[in-house]
Amino acid sequence: MPFESPKRILVTGGAGYIGSHMVLRLAESGYSVTIVDNCFRGHVGAVEALRKAAPNATISFEQLSVHETDRLAHIMRENRIDAVIHFAALAYVGESVERPLDYWWTNLGGTLSLLKAMNSAKVGRLIFSSTCATYGVPTAGANSIDESCPQNPINPYGAAKLAAEHAIADHQNSILRSGGDFAFAALRYFNVIGSDPQGRIGEDHRPESHLVPSCMLAVLGRRDPLCIMGDDYPTNDGTCVRDYVDVGDLCAAHLAALKALTARESLRLNVGTGRGHSVLEVLQACEKVCQRAVPAVRGARRDGDPPMLVANAAQIQRLLRWSPAVRTLDESIGNAWKWLSANPNGYG
């Protein structure tokens, strides 16, 4: 049977960029939400903004690490959690190459702790925030990546996320063999951009390495000129090509998975637009929206970056009837600019 009411959802990493947008979507859809975030890279200010944006919703906040297994299990039992959406992770490709143990500890170790807590609290539904980085470099000649493509990550970020996918599947198999019930969806999404269209919450990373906010912060004089990391890739203009999905569309995909997930099911789905844009194309779109030039310099390639990552999202469209509502870079970037230009210091 599909997961139905009562609707009590725990969101790990819910004070972060994607997590906070997911919390807002859930709250506005009538769910009761418990946020768990250690605020290493999330923000208490984001939780305050969420409560202001959805004053009639039930949003509780627990500041702790997902490594605190027993406390996490207690929170699940206390709040009678029905399902978990797991965003809590480190997510910088370059940093993962420099600090691999941190990424394995957080992205795999944190997921293992969460699974133990869910098992203790008898919570049997999980939506896992995975990544296209699990695929590594696409097979030669492939124009896009579908779920059947080999998963050969080339950086610790992708490797740890793939290991977490395997751990979740192994946990499910163990539960099912013992006669229990556990279902999960691993959503492998591509680059995420945009903000709440009403400007209530936004994107605030510390440090900021994501392309769109980095362009905007450079425009605002809040950072050094943008460094274009590599202009000699085998792409049309020499810069990396990525599939950029709007954060609102991404949240809609998570919600669709949550509603559709049936008992004992396992889904592994790409979330993307099926369209690729180069770094230079995104920079030019930012200039158009901001109506100012983006200060930029050219630099060397960043370790761990594939030349091109574009989604084939036919499977999620077929299974969940999901498709991106935001069709242009300009719309997503415009929403991001609305929040960041009004909040140049982020959440302060």
pLDDT tens digits for range 205-249: 998 889 999 999 999 999 999 999 999 999 999 999 999 999 999
- Indicate the pTM of the whole model: 0.94
From the list 202, 183, 241, the residue with the least C-alpha distance to 348 is 202
Quote the tokens at residue 45.
């200010």
Identify residue 53 by its one-letter amino acid code.
Answer: A
How high is the pLDDT of residue 140? 65
pLDDT band at residue 141 using 50, 70 and 90 as cut-offs: low
Average pLDDT over residues 312-327: 94
Tell me what the mean pLDDT of segment 107-132 comes to. 97
Q: What is the spatial distance between Cα 119 and Cα 270, in angstroms, rounded to a whole number?
A: 27
Q: What is the pLDDT of residues 73-84, one digit of tens each?
A: 999 999 999 999
pLDDT at 264 over 60: yes
Q: What percent of the chain has pLDDT over 70?
A: 97
| Pair of tokens at residue 294 | 């983006």
140 or 302, greater pLDDT: 302
Decide: residue 1, CB within 10 A, 0-12 exposed, 13-18 middle, 19+ buried: exposed
On the 0-12 / 13-18 / 19+ scale of CB atoms within 10 A, 234 is: exposed
Catalytic residue, chosen from 135, 157, 244, 347, is 157
pLDDT confidence of residue 94: 87
Cα 249 from Cα 176, distance rounded (Å): 32
Q: Which of 56-60, 129-133, 323-327 has the lowest mean pLDDT?
A: 323-327
Q: Are 250 and 192 in contact (CB under 8 A)?
A: yes
Instruction: Looking at mean pLDDT, say which of 3-7, 110-114, 136-140 comes out highest.
Output: 110-114
Share of the chain above pLDDT 90, in %: 88
**Confidence (pLDDT) at 295:** 96
Mean pLDDT, range 105-130, rounded to an integer: 98
Peptide bond preceding 207 in cis form (omega within 30 of 0): yes
The structure tokens listed for 293 are 């030039």
Q: How many CB atoms lie within 10 A of CB 167?
A: 17
Alpha helices in the chain (DSSP H): 17-28, 44-53, 69-78, 93-98, 100-103, 110-121, 156-177, 211-219, 247-260, 279-290, 314-320, 329-342
CA 294, 299, 302, 307 torsion: positive or negative? positive
CA distance 140 to 222: 39
pLDDT-derived band at 304, boundaries 50, 70, 90? confident
CA distances to 73, 86, 105 from 120, rounded to whole Å, are 6, 17, 21
Instruction: Report helix angle 44-53 to 17-28, nearest 10.
Output: 20
In which band, very low, low, confident or very high, does the pLDDT at 133 lie, cut at 50, 70 and 90?
A: very high
Looking at domain 8-342, its CATH superfamily turns out to be NAD(P)-binding Rossmann-like Domain (3.40.50.720)
Residues in the chain: 348
Judged against a pLDDT cut of 70, whether residue 6 lies above it is answered with no
Q: What does the mean pLDDT of the chain come to? A: 94
- Give the Cα separation of 19 and 199 in Å (integer): 16
As a whole number of angstroms, the distance between CA 10 and CA 124 comes to 12
Q: Which phi and psi angles does 227 have, rounded to 5°?
A: -100, 120
Closest CA to 34 of 5, 10, 58: 10
Does 157 participate in catalysis according to the annotation?
Answer: yes
For residue 117, what are the β-bridge partners?
none
Sign of CA dihedral 207, 345, 289, 336: positive
* 12 token code pair: 């790990």
Q: Is the Cα torsion angle 118, 124, 127, 129 positive or negative in sign?
A: positive
3-state helix, strand, coil in the chain (%, to 5): 40, 20, 40
